[in-house]
Amino acid sequence: MEGGAEVKAIVVSEKGGPDQLVLEEVPDPQPGPGDLLVDVAAAGLNFIDTYHRGGLYPMEFPMTPGLEGAGTVTGLGDGVEGFEIGDRVSWVSTIGSYAEKHLIPIDRAVPVPEQVDDETAAAVLLQGITAHYLAKDTFPLAGGHRCLIHAGSGGVGLLLTQIAKMAGAEVVTTVGSREKADLSRAAGSDHVIVYTEEDFAEAVIQRYGPDGVDVVYDGVGAATFDKGLDVLRPRGMMVTFGNASGPVPEVSPLILMQKGSLFLTRPTMFHYIPTREELLARTGDLFGWIGEGELEVRIGERYPLAEAAEAHRALEGRRTTGKVLILP
C-alpha cells in the first residue's frame, strides 16, 4: 500500500463503553527509526483493553487499543537489524494492535518460531507472560504448594493452571458454570469450584482446612479479594493482578496481620519484562512449551475487526472462555 493511503483501525475518541470502539480509515503508518511495519494477522483481546477504553487506566485520546498481536513484517525503519521483510513476529505492550497495520519497536518484537502459527502467537503473549511471571517469580510454585486460581477457564487461568501443574503444584480453580468447570479440569485443575453454586471460601476451607492454600492468584478483583484472604495459610500470599469485577478497595495493613501475617502484591506484566532479555526468556519458554505440546493455548472466540465492540461486551459479560482474538 502506498504511503499516504489509508488502512482500517479501531479508534476510541473518548473514554466510555464498547460503543466507543469505532472502525475508521486512518493514515497508512510509516516506520520510523528502529520500527517494524507489520501486517497484523491477529490481535489479542485482554481486560486491560477495556480499562484503556473505559478510563480506569488514563489514556490520551483518540487512540487505537490492543497491546498484543502477531503478523508479518512488511517494512523496516532506519537502523533496523536482525529482522527482514517477511519475518513473522509477535508483540506485547505495544498499543495499537486493533488495526490492519501496526508499528512495532524492534526491542518489543518477538520472532515467532516455525512451529507456532500466527493466531497462537497472538493469543499467548500477554496472558502467557502473565501466567509465567505469576508462577515463576511472583510466588514461585514448586511441588507441595497449593494455589487458588480465580477465573480458571479464562485465558490466564487456563495457562496458569498448566504452568502450575508443570511446577508440581496442586491447583484449585473457580469458574462460573459447569461447562467452564470442564475446561478448567481439562487444563489440569485438581479441584474446580463453581462459584455460582457454592461459596468458594467455604469450599476451600471445608476441603483443605483453615490453612487452605499457599497463594491466591486473583485476576477478578473486588468481588473475590476479601474472601481470598480468608483461605490463605499464615504467611501466604495474595496476588491481585486484575480488575475484572472492578478494582480492589483500599486495604489496611492491619488486616494482613490479623489474617495471618499475609503478603499482598499487585504486580503488572510490564515490571516483569523490563528488558528485551527478560521478554525473550519468558516468550522462549512459552513458545518452547507450545512446540513440545506441553502448553495448550485455547482460542475461544474470534471476532472481525469491525465487531471489536461486541468482543468487549462478551469479555466484560463473562461470556468468553480461553483467548479472544480480533482479526483484521
Cα separation, 195 vs 192, whole angstroms: 9
- The confidence band for 4, taking pLDDT boundaries of 50, 70 and 90, is low
CATH number of the 6-125+272-327 domain: 3.90.180.10
Q: pLDDT per residue over 155-205, tens digit each?
A: 999 999 999 999 999 999 999 999 999 999 999 999 999 999 999 999 999
Residue 325 has pLDDT above 60, yes or no: yes
What the block records as the C-alpha cell of 231 is 483461605
Residue with cell 484503556: 52
Cα separation, 324 vs 98, whole angstroms: 13
Mean of all residue pLDDT scores within the chain: 96
pLDDT at 1: 40
The CA–CA distances, whole Å, from 309 to 68, 177, 304 equal 17, 24, 10
What average pLDDT score do residues 52-78 get? 96
pLDDT at 5: 80
* Backbone φ, ψ for residue 165 (5° rounding): -65, -35
Q: Which residues belong to CATH 3.90.180.10 in the chain?
A: 6-125+272-327
Residue 304 has pLDDT above 80, yes or no: yes
Q: pLDDT per residue over 249-284, tens digit each?
A: 999 999 999 999 999 999 999 999 999 999 999 999
- The confidence band for 2, taking pLDDT boundaries of 50, 70 and 90, is very low
Q: pLDDT per residue over 102-127, tens digit each?
A: 999 999 999 999 999 999 999 999 99
- The confidence band for 314, taking pLDDT boundaries of 50, 70 and 90, is very high
Q: Which residues belong to CATH 3.40.50.720 in the chain?
A: 143-266
CATH of 143-266, picked from 3.40.50.720, 3.40.30.10, 1.10.1040.10, 3.30.43.10, is: 3.40.50.720
- Give the burial string for 152-177 (b: 16+ CB within 10 Å, else e): bbbbbbbbbbbbbbebebbbbbbbbe
